[in-house]
């Protein structure tokens, strides 16, 4: 029976760790999360790692940065007021029209027509990207809410 010995690290050099373990330690040390990692050793050598600083509400399928939104791991092409609108709706069950305008457009506000147009645009984006079984953002009795769970 052959004995197997682990490779020893020469004195003065740092301990060699498997790539996934080293990446996890690095990400934790800098306060990021690994969202994707791919390694290939046969047929070529490459390494792809995607780190994220996204804020995630525990138990929420949504995560956000200042410039992007992700739903269940899928990056969505939302920026500006559209991003702010979805973020605001993802944080609460429902928002009154005036509250949603304030959160998405800030103190300057906007006309109700712009809110309806923006909601329509966001719905088209979410339907195209996520293929949900119902309209993602609905309004009822002056309140707006997300139907995505």
140 shares a domain with 93: yes
pTM confidence score? 0.62
* Full domain range(s) for residue 92: 55-146
41 or 135, greater pLDDT: 135
Q: Cα(147)–Cα(58) distance, rounded to whole angstroms? A: 18
16 is written with which tokens?
A: 């060699």
Q: What CATH number should be reported for the domain holding residue 94?
A: 1.10.10.10
Q: Cα(62)–Cα(70) distance, rounded to whole angstroms? A: 6
97 shares a domain with 66: yes
29 shares a domain with 73: no
Which of the four pLDDT bands, split at 50, 70 and 90, describes residue 1? very low
60 shares a domain with 48: no
Structurally, the chain folds into a number of domains equal to 2
Tens-digit pLDDT profile for residues 101-121 = 999 999 889 999 999 999 999
Q: Which of these ranges, 1-5, 11-15, 110-114, has the smallest mean pLDDT?
A: 1-5
98 shares a domain with 38: no
Q: Does 101 map to a domain?
A: yes
Say if residue 55's pLDDT is above 60: no
CB pairs under 8 A, 24+ apart, for 94-102?
Answer: 94/143, 94/144, 94/145, 95/143, 95/144, 95/145, 96/142, 96/143, 97/139, 97/142, 97/143, 97/144, 100/144
Say if residue 48's pLDDT is above 50: yes
Which of the four pLDDT bands, split at 50, 70 and 90, describes residue 2? very low
């Amino acid at each position: 029976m052959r004995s197997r010995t682990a490779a020893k690290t020469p004195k003065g050099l740092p301990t060699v760790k498997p790539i996934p373990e080293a990446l996890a330690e690095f990400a934790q040390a800098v306060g990021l999360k690994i969202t994707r990692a791919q390694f290939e050793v046969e047929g070529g050598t490459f390494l792809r790692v995607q780190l994220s600083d996204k804020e995630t509400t525990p138990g929420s399928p949504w995560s956000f940065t200042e410039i992007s939104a992700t739903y269940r791991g899928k990056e969505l092409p939302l920026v500006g007021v559209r991003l702010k609108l979805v973020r605001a709706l993802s944080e609460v069950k429902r928002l009154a029209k005036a509250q949603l305008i304030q959160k998405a457009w800030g103190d300057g506000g906007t006309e109700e027509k712009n809110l309806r147009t923006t909601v329509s645009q966001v719905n088209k984006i979410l339907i195209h990207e996520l293929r949900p079984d119902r309209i993602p953002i609905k309004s009822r009795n002056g309140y707006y809410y997300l139907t995505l769970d």
